[in-house]
Amino acid sequence: MGTAAATGVERPQCVAYHRTVETRRDAMRRPVHSTDAPNAIGPYSQAIRAGGMLYLSGQTPLEPATGERIDGFANQVHRVFLNLRAVAEAAGARLDDAVKVTVYLTDLENFAAFNTIMAQYFREPYPARTTIQVAGLPRGADVEVDAILALPD
C-alpha cells in the first residue's frame, strides 16, 4: 500500500499535480518590483501581491540609482516614503491604500520629526501603525518602514 503500483497512481500524475498546486500558489503570490526603488539587498522581494493585499518589504533610505544611503534624518524619511510609493505604484496602488505601517527608528528622539514627515505622504484615515526603536538598521540607516496595503478593486 502507498506505492504507485498499489494505488494505481502513476508518478507522472503526482508530479503534474504538484506543479499545478505550485502554479496556483505562484499565481496567488506575485512579486512586485519597481526600478524607482532600490533593489532588494537580500533574498526577498520589494513587495508581494497576495489575496487583494500588497505586502511592502521594509524600505531604507537608499537612493535607487546608486544604492547609496541618504544622509540626514528628514532626508532619510522622505527617501523611505518615496521608495515605498514607487513600489506601491508599480502594483497599481497608492500609499493611501495602506492599512498598516511598521516604523523602525534607531532613536525615538526622532519620533515627532518622523510624524511630521509621514503626514505629508498619507491622508486621513491614517493607517494603523507600530513604531519600534531598534539598535541598528541595514547600511547605517536611521529609519526603515514597511507597509501592508489593501489593493483597490
What Cα–Cα distance (Å) separates residue 94 from each residue in 53, 121, 134?
12, 10, 27
**Amino acid residing at 20:** T
Instruction: Give the pLDDT confidence of 13-64 residue by residue, as tens digits.
Output: 556 555 555 555 666 899 999 999 999 989 999 999 999 999 999 999 999 9
SS3 content of the chain, % helix, strand, coil (to 5): 35, 25, 35
Q: Enter the C-alpha cell of residue 85.
A: 510609493
pLDDT in tens, 78-102: 999 999 999 999 999 999 999 999 9
